[in-house]
A and B are shown apart, each in its own frame.
Chain A
Amino acid sequence: MVDSFWQLFGRRIILIPPKIQHYIDLIVVLTQKELKVKYKSSFLGYLWSVGHPLAFAFVFFVAFKVVMRVEVEDYALFLIAGLFPWQWFSNSVNASPLAFLGNASIIKKVNFSRNLIPFTQVLQDMIHFVLAIPIIMLFLFIYRKAPSLSWLYGIPALLTIQFFMTFGVCLIVSSTNLFFRDLERLTTIFTTLLFYFTPIIYPERMVPEKYKTLINLNPLSPLMVNWRNLFLGGTLEAAYLAISLGYAMLAYLLGYWVYKKLSWKFAEVL
């Protein structure tokens, strides 16, 4: 299925100049590689990318709804709407330390745009997230709700913002990790901490008044809150959208700058 999609995509752009065509082909081939490698040796394949956040949702549901009886409406749905986009971010970032390190043999031999490696990894995780949206819809139906028309522009907008934010972070981590290998361990700790500081398993209104201003200091908060609001009620908050867009641009520019500064040394340190 993925194959035929790309073939269709490839055929339509036959009139594109060769250089850009090659660039697109590189992205396609590298993404295909990521997808194939991921599923090659696992029997359940796609189910794993959905199973992981679902299992988490189940754990949080038991802990907070069943045991601690937190007052949040439709808590299972609430969790899933936040955990899926989070999963994309954390999967990409946690994999990024090895993005360049794991492709040492190519980087040492071939001169190509190396930033395409983290780019395609983030793209691949994004595809998984998009493929998981039907699961969110399924839960909406279970809770007698329906997708909203605003998804049509809301999803692409948030996808773009999250893509550049994630890609920026991944560029920083994957480039720096070549010179400072401890980053690999730090990254998982960092994403775990960030997860609990982001309103995903709790709504932002439950955050005590004196800490409320801190929420927007976390680049992921406005984005994740927007995702959840979009999935649950079809609404997008403009202020959050603007803030997360700002963070995304910042992360991307910073990431690109770090990458540019360090990339010429990659072949030396690998």
Chain B
Amino acid sequence: MREPIITFDNVSKIYPLYHHLTGGYKNFLFHLPKWIKSLKNAKFEALRDISFEVHMGETFGIIGKNGAGKSTTLGLMAGVLKPTRGKVIVKGRISPLLELGAGFHHELTGRENILLNGVLMGLTRAEVSRKMSAIIEFSELGDFIDQPIRVYSSGMLARLGFSVVAHLDPEILLIDEVLAVGDMNFQKKCIDKMLGFKKGGVTMVFVSHSMPDIERICDRVMWIDNHSVKMVGTPKDVVLNYSKF
């Protein structure tokens, strides 16, 4: 039995629905009691009592409909969200989920963004500089690398984002729906890189709507439906049930 590297222990996440005091002061003053009441009651349960473990070196897929709670799960793993109830235990350095251009600044060039993003994700400047040429080469962005990224297409942004994360030397890698926008060539390259990570013993958590990708890469898959775990199992079983559902 391999040891768990990420543990969710009866985790619930409830978001209060924040009201940003709209409707003006008159409205606010007249309806103060009602407003306070609505503050207390307006809640949204994103995850209800979920428990699972991700083992060391495993590639763990998460599937489910939009709004089922996948991103909240990743947010909890990354440590940007706190569980309302239950415990989330993560052992090891997490390389955060990447999403199109998260943490990029559109006025900076690709090269400057690599530095910014790399350092934000836990590398020192010296480490990023050492990897700079490898990252640029992997991204295949060519001369665009010295252009501000506001001129990039969404596919190019995805390339840049994945290239940075691919060179982070992660222990745990969280991947949220990134491959969807890249072209075929680059998608294949990303999958290859991920398979390489897998061989290297990196633990990966992979959120995707692409069932072929899930089946190809993952060791185990969790299906989240309606804010709780519907099923955990081998990719084949879970994907089969999911597509029938």
Contacts and interface: CB of A to CB of B under 8 A. Distances in A.
Interface of A: 10, 18, 21-22, 25-26, 28-30, 32-33, 36-37, 40-41, 105-112, 179-182, 264, 266-269
B80 A109 contact: yes
Chain B interface size band reads 35 or more
Interface string B48-83: 000000000000000000000000000100111110
A268 B78 contact: no
A189 to B, nearest CB: 15
Given A41-B107, A107-B80, A22 B124 contact: yes
Given A105-B101, A180-B20, A181-B21, 19 more contacts: A18-B124, A22-B122, A26-B119, A29-B116, A30-B116, A36-B108, A36-B112, A40-B148, A105-B99, A105-B104, A106-B103, A107-B80, A109-B78, A109-B80, A109-B103, A110-B80, A111-B80, A268-B18, A268-B81
Given A22-B124, A264-B82, A267-B75, A109 B98 contact: yes
A34 to B, nearest CB: 10
B102 A108 contact: yes
Interface string B80-111: 11100000000000101111011111011000
Interface centre among A110, A179, A181, A269 (most CB of B within 10 A): A110
Interface of B is mostly: loop
Contacts of B105: 33, 37
A267 B97 CA distance: 14
Given A268-B15, A268-B81, A40 B120 contact: no
A110 B82 contact: no
Given A25-B119, A267-B81, A110 B20 contact: no
A42 to B, nearest CB: 11
Nearest to B82: A264
Interface centre among A106, A109, A268 (most CB of B within 10 A): A109
A30 B120 CA distance: 9
Contacts of B15: 268
A29 B80 contact: no
Please give me the 3 A-B residue pairs with the lowest Cβ-Cβ distance, nearest first.
A111-B79, A267-B80, A106-B103
B23 to A, nearest CB: 12
Contacts of A269: 18
Given A29-B119, A110-B78, A180 B21 contact: yes
B80 A40 contact: no
B111 to A, nearest CB: 11
Nearest to A14: B126
Given A105-B101, A105-B103, A110 B120 contact: yes
Contact of A37 (B20, B80, B108, B119): B108
15 contacts: A22-B123, A26-B120, A29-B116, A40-B108, A40-B148, A105-B102, A106-B102, A109-B80, A111-B79, A111-B94, A111-B96, A112-B120, A180-B21, A264-B82, A267-B81
